[in-house]
């Protein structure tokens, strides 16, 4: 599984890496670098923060670029900014093109297990496959 994260907080980046374990995670806090990465590679999940420590550029700009340039349209996106109003703006940009886009604060996201986060985003993973197989089993009579 490949996950892209736009985030500038080292503590949050460490949390994501610890939480998702050996998953292939790529992070940046730079908007133009994020655009470059997202154009070049395919990801199973994209996590976006809004406030990334730059006085001029933010996750809003990335969301707008993703909409305008049709970047990563197949990947589920979680906007995890604590900034509720700006999270809504990002969602407006992304909702035009990205069908599976959700918003949740990082504070709420921290309460979820990796499997719950993947389920929330609609990402297939080992645990979801196990649950699906269990549902399909027919009990013996």
- CATH number for the domain spanning 51: value is 3.40.50.2300
Positive or negative: CA dihedral 102, 104, 109, 112: negative
DSSP strand pairing (24-28 vs 45-48): unpaired
Residues 6+ apart with CB under 8 A from 14: none
| Residue 6 phi, psi dihedral angles, 5° rounding | -95, 110
**Tens of pLDDT, residues 67-83:** 889 888 889 999 888 87
**Is the pLDDT assigned to residue 56 strictly greater than 70?**
yes
71 found inside a domain? yes
pLDDT confidence of residue 140: 58
88 found inside a domain? yes
3-state secondary structure of 72: coil
**Tens of pLDDT, residues 1-41:** 899 999 989 999 999 999 888 678 999 988 899 999 999 99
The domain in which residue 18 lies consists of 2-136
141 found inside a domain? no
Mean pLDDT over all residues of the chain?
Answer: 84
121 found inside a domain? yes
pLDDT confidence of residue 87: 83
pLDDT confidence of residue 109: 92
66 found inside a domain? yes
Number of domains observed in the structure of the chain: 1
67 found inside a domain? yes
pTM for the full model?
0.83
Residues in the chain: 141
pLDDT confidence of residue 134: 53
């Amino acid at each position: 599984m490949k996950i892209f994260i736009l985030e500038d907080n080292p503590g949050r980046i460490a949390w994501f890496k610890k939480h998702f374990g050996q998953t292939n995670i790529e992070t940046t806090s730079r908007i133009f670098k994020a655009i470059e990465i997202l154009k070049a590679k395919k990801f199973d999940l994209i996590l976006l923060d809004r406030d990334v420590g730059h006085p001029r550029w933010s996750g809003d700009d990335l969301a707008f670029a993703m909409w305008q340039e049709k970047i990563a349209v197949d990947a589920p996106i979680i906007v995890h900014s604590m900034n509720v109003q700006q999270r809504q703006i990002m969602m407006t940009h992304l909702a035009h093109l990205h069908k599976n886009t959700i918003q949740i604060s990082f504070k709420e996201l921290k309460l979820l297990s990796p499997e719950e986060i993947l389920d929330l985003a609609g990402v297939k993973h080992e645990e979801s496959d196990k649950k699906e197989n269990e549902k399909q089993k027919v009990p013996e009579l």
